[in-house]
Amino acid sequence: MNNIEKGEMLYEGKAKKVYRTNDRDKFIVEYKDDATAFNGEKKGTISNKGIVNNKMSAVIFQLLQDMEIENHYIEVLSDREMLVKSVEILPVEVIVRNIAAGSMAKRLGLQEGRKMKTPILEFCYKSDELGDPLINEYHIEALEWATKEEIKTIKDYTFRINEILSVYFLEKNLTLVDFKLEFGLHNGRVILADEVSPDTCRLWDATTGEKLDKDRFRRDLGNVEESYQEVLRRIKG
Ligand code: TMP
Ligand code: ASP
């Protein structure tokens, strides 16, 4: 495990770079400070975001592994880098919503902050050009983005993750409003991948309702860096 060498860059996304290593079963993920919103229309940087997202994702992935949710995390290598299992990411984003906010509040004309009776699960097709359009399970199966069995695994994992993380964040006085997950195939099995961070979760202070996530950047609310640091401080504390 200690003789890992960083190889060629496989992929550069909006917030991360992924590298091959000398071990074909392992990749290195490097978290960037770059931030985008509205399909890359709005661009900026959030100082030290890469460090926060790397550390927070590591804590959350470890917690989920302890709860037997298989994921790509292996270990943290540096401030901005983690070693992960190599995966082929499925072209589907999985969104869970506990409270109405963001694009769903807009689409359905709901008041942001409305608590739903049960969590809502949405799928989007992962395509920047198309703006990650909303899809359903039939699209995923018919277009062979995942099999019926893989979709079932993803849904089971996702609802369990929501239960685990909602309780976990509430202990940190944070409300888990909604979040996005990505899954990948590792040796033919579906496992959780990508990241879990204030970029991919809406987190509100449970007492005041203050937004402590990427919406501060998306909506120009100020104190962006401070909010990311505050989330990490609560998770570490
Ligand atoms: P939305 O309300 O904008 O659709 O976002 C739902 C959740 O998904 C929210 O927690 C933020 C996260 N998300 C991402 O991680 N990446 C994205 O590209 C988008 C649009 C949302
Ligand atoms: N990261 C996404 C983008 O730039 C959007 C978002 O997180 O709001 O498209």
Q: Residue 20 in 3-state DSSP?
A: strand
Rg of the chain's alpha carbons, rounded to an integer? 17
Mean pLDDT over each residue of the chain, to the nearest integer = 97
Encoding tokens for residue 147?
């099999």
Q: Among the atoms of ligand 2, which is closest to the Cα of residue 131?
A: 9
Pocket of ligand 2 (CB under 6 A): 14, 36-37, 39-40, 214, 218
According to DSSP, the residues that pair with 99 across neighbouring strands are 115
pLDDT over 70 at 1, yes or no: no
Question: 180 CA to middle of ligand 1, Å?
Answer: 6
Q: What is the pLDDT of residues 175-231, one digit of tens each?
A: 999 999 999 999 999 999 999 999 999 999 999 999 999 999 999 999 999 999 999
16-21 sheet: strands from edge to edge: 6-12, 16-21, 26-31, 81-85, 73-76
Question: 33 CA to middle of ligand 2, Å?
Answer: 13
Q: Among the atoms of ligand 1, which is closest to the Cα of residue 103?
A: 2
The residue whose C-alpha atom lies closest to atom 8 belonging to ligand 1 is 180
Over residues 34-55, the mean pLDDT reads 97
Question: 105 CA to middle of ligand 1, Å?
Answer: 12
Contacts of 108-117 with C-beta under 8 Å, sequence gap 24+, read 113/209
Q: What is the pLDDT of residue 199?
A: 98
Band of pLDDT at residue 128, cut at 50, 70 and 90: very high
Q: What is the pLDDT of residue 237?
A: 79
Over residues 126-139, the mean pLDDT reads 97
Amino acid type, 200: T
Strand-strand pairing, 134-135 and 189-193:
unpaired
Question: 41 CA to middle of ligand 2, Å?
Answer: 9
Closest-lying ligand to the alpha carbon of 112? 1
Q: What is the pLDDT of residues 53-105, one digit of tens each?
A: 999 999 999 999 999 999 999 999 999 999 999 999 999 999 999 999 999 99
What percentage of the chain has pLDDT greater than the value 70?
A: 99
Q: Among the atoms of ligand 1, which is closest to the Cα of residue 199?
A: 15
